Amino acid sequence: MKKILLLLLVIAATISACKKNDDDEDNSVTCDSTYTPIVFAHGLLASGDTYANQVMRFTSNNYCGSLLFAFDWNTLAQGTDNNVLLDAYIDGVLQKTGASQVNLVGHSAGGGLGYGYLSDAARAAKVKHYVHVGSGVQSGSAGPNGEVPTLNIWSPDDLVVQGGDITGATNVSIAGKDHYEIATCAEAFDAMYKFFNENNAPSTTQILNQSDVEICGRVVTLGENAPKPNTTVKVFEVNPATGERLSATANFSFGVNAEGYWNAIKIKAGIPYEFEVNSNETGDRIVHYYREGFTHSNPLVYLRLLPPSGSFAGNLLSSLPKNDAQSVVVVFTANQAVISGRDELKVADNVLSIPDFAAADKTTIAMFLYDNGNSNTDMTSANVLFSSFPFLEAVDIFFPTVTPQPIQCRFNGRNLFVRNWKSDSEGVTIAIFD
């Protein structure tokens, strides 16, 4: 069984930079294939799209997208040897790219994984540079003898993991960044780029706009990153002022492969889209993703399905209502937390960026919004278990479904409109602010 698993992981590594159109050539106008490949490892409850903005910044600086890889792992699995899984993945990347080494980046729990992986000399030899982001302080640089050049990026305003300087490492402290933002911000990219490239500065820390935009990615279960190979996805262009589909016929319709990856589609730049995701498995719920307009090709567009009951994440989400009288709406701020006093989040005129739901030490990036049973908006915590976890919050808001209508989500001056889908027969709605 282990040999089969390793083989599947190697295969997954060869396709993780999702297949593009035009015979799998890179979508960049120009790109440099001589850079060292980069493998990114995410943190607790996260997925590879943690690094979507950083990947787009690297491709904005002439990196070929075929050199950038996201390692998805189940951070909730107990007893799994993730060092073995990461090693198989890196071997697959080396085989695919022909490189002799990779650069490795680990955020939060991914940082703990990175240090554990690099504690073995044979594995450490496969890594040219290591970047430790928003993760715990270590006794020295990575590697059994501290031989792997290490960049340690941390924020004094990270209230989830207490960071600090690491002896022997290159240390970069970036103030004002929350635990998730420290991995996604432009300042962290600047430090990584310089570290990988002999202290040469990038030409830009911005994500450059492109007129021709391709997106691709993966469908996995929330929290566990398990693929659902029977999944189908329909993509609809929507009215930016209402979230309504412009046509009853999908602009794109496709399936995923055995590892959940879907091939690139060419979309209109700057136009919002809805992604309807259906696992086609009995008991699973359809999920409707609403995304802001894409302005740069993005290979890490992840579409998460709700995990099955019986798993940790599935049990956590089992309380979400299945009730056609109301909608269930999730707001996900993909690159930073919602912090009371710093940020503004409002959904259907309900202000959610208040200390009860968005305290700085909560680091809330996903808010689950639904009514707890009285068909009223109480603006109280809807789930004690959610409230006990970092990153997650549940708020009692009632979205009626008697009449189809838009729900306005507003985050730091940006608007995203979603539909009030019936939460049982039609599915769950997720609004993503990139």
Span 257-305, pLDDT tens digits: 999 999 999 999 999 999 999 999 998 999 999 999 999 999 999 999 9
> 298-305 and 213-221: which strand pairing?
parallel
CB 69 within 8 A of CB 54: no
The pLDDT of residue 18: 59
What is each CA distance from 127 to 10, 17, 70, 114, 394, in whole angstroms?
A: 17, 19, 15, 10, 40
CATH number for the domain running over 2-196: 3.40.50.1820
Spatial CA neighbour of 119 closest among 93, 134, 140: 140
Pick the CATH number of 213-433 from 3.40.50.2300, 2.60.40.10, 1.10.3470.10, 2.60.40.2200: 2.60.40.2200
**In angstroms, rounded to a whole number, what is the distance separating the alpha carbons of residues 73 and 75?**
6
The pLDDT of residue 84: 97
What is each CA distance from 297 to 37, 55, 216, 274, in whole angstroms?
A: 18, 10, 9, 17
The pLDDT of residue 318: 83
CB 304 within 8 A of CB 47: yes
Spatial CA neighbour of 59 closest among 182, 217, 219, 209: 209
CATH 3.40.50.1820 positions along the chain are 2-196
Chain-centre distance of CA 264, in angstroms? 18
What residues in the chain have per-residue pLDDT under 50? 1-17, 20-28
The pLDDT of residue 21: 44
Chain-centre distance of CA 346, in angstroms? 22
Spatial CA neighbour of 137 closest among 171, 103, 184, 105: 171
What is each CA distance from 16 to 34, 72, 231, in whole angstroms?
A: 19, 9, 17
CATH 2.60.40.2200 positions along the chain are 213-433
For residue 380 the two structure tokens come to 């109280």
